[in-house]
């Protein structure tokens, strides 16, 4: 209702929780898949299979979504993107995001993000009500 027609923008950032030993590697896998234009496909696969995110299993998921596995595996075996993931995690912590999924419904500017924090999966009505509070009269937040 809001993203597809371009009324709002959806930004994704990483919050690999410390108690989940494979969370950083799973986040890295999504970025490695993005190199082959399959960020969202990999992200969906990781969330669907979140009980088994070992490096070996992540590589199976990459094969299942038809990535060039040699390129993907080299990326995943490297340290690429881990620094970015750690920065995103620090940003999430500064916003008091404590769980996955977490959402901030608000406005962005180059310096910060502020708005209503919603922790955990919620109904579409919860998100819609918060978005409606922010929409200007023309109904579009994104320029």
Torsion angle (degrees, nearest 10) of CA 23, 28, 31, 32: -130
pLDDT at 42 over 90: yes
Question: What is the sign, positive or negative, of the torsion defined by CA atoms of 90, 92, 95, 99?
Answer: negative
What integer is the mean pLDDT of 80-104? 85
pTM to 2 decimal places: 0.77
């Amino acid at each position: 209702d809001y993203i597809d027609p371009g009324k709002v923008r959806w930004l994704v950032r990483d919050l690999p929780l410390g108690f989940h030993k494979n969370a950083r590697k799973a986040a890295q896998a999504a970025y490695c898949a993005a190199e082959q234009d399959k960020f969202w496909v990999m992200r969906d696969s990781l969330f669907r299979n979140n009980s088994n995110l070992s490096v070996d299993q992540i590589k199976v998921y990459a094969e299942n979504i038809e990535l060039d596995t040699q390129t993907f595996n080299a990326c995943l075996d490297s340290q690429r993107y881990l620094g970015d993931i750690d920065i995103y995690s620090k940003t999430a912590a500064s916003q008091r995001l404590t769980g996955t999924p977490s959402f901030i419904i608000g406005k962005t500017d180059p310096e910060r993000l502020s708005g209503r924090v919603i922790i955990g999966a919620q109904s579409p009505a919860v998100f819609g009500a918060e978005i409606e509070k922010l929409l200007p009269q023309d109904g579009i937040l994104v320029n």
